[in-house]
Amino acid sequence: MSLTRPTSLRQSEAIAPTNKLPLWHSLDIERTIDLLESDREQGLNAAQVTAKKARFGANELSAKKGKPWWLKFVLQFNQPLLIILLSAGVIKALLQEWINAGVIWGVTTTNATISFIQESRAEGAIVALASSIQTEATVIRDGKKLRVPSRELVPGDIVLLTSGDKVPADLRLIQVRNLQIDESALTGESVAVEKDSHPVEPETALAERINMAYGGGFVTFGQGTGIVIAIGQETQTGQIAQLIEQRTDLTTPLTRKFNAFSQNWLYMVLGLATLTFAVGLGHKPWAEAIEAAITLVVSAIPEGLPAVITVTLAVGVSRMARRHAIIRKLPAVETLGSATVICSDKTGTLTENQMTVQEIYAGDQNYTVSGVGYSPEGDTFFNQAIATPRPALEECLKAGLLCNRHLRKMLIRLGDWLRSCVRSY
Burial of 217 (0-12, 13-18, 19+ CB in 10 A): buried
Contact 136, 152 (CB under 8 A): no
pLDDT in tens, 41-96: 899 999 999 999 999 888 887 655 667 778 878 877 777 667 777 777 787 787 77
CA separation for the pair 66, 75 (Å, rounded)? 13
Of 280, 376, 340, 291, which Cα lies nearest the Cα of 94? 291
Domains in the chain: boundaries: 6-60+133-240, 69-129+248-310, 359-424
Residues 6+ apart with CB under 8 A from 198: 211
Architecture of the 6-60+133-240 domain: Distorted Sandwich (2.70)
* Active site residues per annotation: 345
Q: What is the pLDDT of residue 81?
A: 66
Q: Are strands 212-213 and 144-149 parallel, antiparallel or unpaired?
A: unpaired
Other Cβ atoms closer than 10 A to 116:
16
CA separation for the pair 313, 418 (Å, rounded)? 34
Other Cβ atoms closer than 10 A to 111:
26
Q: What is the pLDDT of residue 6?
A: 35
pLDDT tens, N- to C-terminus, the chain (425 residues): 333 333 333 333 333 344 345 789 999 999 999 999 999 889 999 999 999 999 988 888 765 566 777 887 887 777 766 777 777 778 778 777 788 778 778 877 877 787 777 667 656 655 555 555 567 889 999 989 999 998 899 999 999 999 989 899 999 999 999 999 998 878 777 788 899 999 998 888 888 899 999 988 899 999 999 999 999 888 888 887 777 666 556 677 777 787 788 788 878 888 888 888 888 887 788 777 877 887 787 777 776 666 677 677 777 777 776 776 666 666 777 777 677 776 666 555 555 656 678 888 888 888 888 887 667 778 888 887 888 778 888 888 888 777 776 666 776 776 677 667 666 65
Helices (H) and strands (E) in the chain, counts: 13, 11
pLDDT in tens, 352-411: 656 678 888 888 888 888 887 667 778 888 887 888 778 888 888 888 777 776 666 776
CA separation for the pair 204, 238 (Å, rounded)? 20
Integer angstrom CA distances of residue 386 from 66, 188, 318, 367, 399: 54, 38, 55, 9, 21
